[in-house]
Amino acid sequence: MGLDQLAEYIGKEQAYIGDLLLKEGIENLADACEEIGIQKQCDLVHKEKYKSMTRLFLAGNKTRRRMFLEGLGDDIVRRTFLIAVAFEIRCAEAYAETLQKYDPMPRLGQAKTSSLLQYAAAAQSLQESYPSLWPFQDHDPFDEG
């Protein structure tokens, strides 16, 4: 898959998850995140046990995804899981944009110093575009802003 195709796929996933988040309601999402706290939300994003749930969810078609979310049962669990999925997609978007902006492959004959500086610029760009846990402008329950 080329970077353009990947960017298109990520955009579609963002739109899909964005719709699910908006259906939940921003205030409901914020309340759920406040209830579990930032540490538990970070666990949902970073611990392998939860990453495997995200992979399973994203691998499914819309019907399987709906069934997966229904299987989570609890509103708080579903809402915080969707926030974690949205974070993963936004991280993928930041990385894909960095790859598009800074070609990661050194060219034949390119000086090592040029590659080093190109990689440094790419890393700095990725760090600057790294998303917050909260996917919206307002109501950030984690006070990341």
Per-residue model confidence as pLDDT tens digits over 29-87: 999 999 998 888 888 888 888 889 999 999 999 999 999 999 998 999 999 999 999 99
Judge whether 85 and 17 are in contact, CB under 8 Å: yes
For residue 112, the model assigns a pLDDT of 78
Q: Which long-range contacts (CB under 8 A, 24 or more apart) does 100-109 make?
A: 100/3, 100/7, 101/125
* pTM of the predicted structure, to 2 decimals: 0.87
Q: What is the pLDDT of residue 104?
A: 66
Contact in structure between 86 and 66 (CB atoms under 8 Å): no
Among 33, 75, 31, 83, residue whose Cα is nearest residue 57: 83
pLDDT of residue 106: 65
Per-residue DSSP letter, 115: H
Instruction: Give the span between the Cα atoms of 140 and 134, in whole angstroms.
Output: 6
Taking residues 109-116, report their average pLDDT.
80
pLDDT of residue 13: 96
Q: pLDDT tens across 126-143, in order?
A: 899 989 889 988 888 887
pLDDT band at 145 (very low <50, low <70, confident <90, very high): low
pLDDT digits (tens, 9 = 90+) for 86-103: 999 999 999 999 988 887
* pLDDT reported for residue 117: 87
Tokens in use for 107? Answer: 């060219």
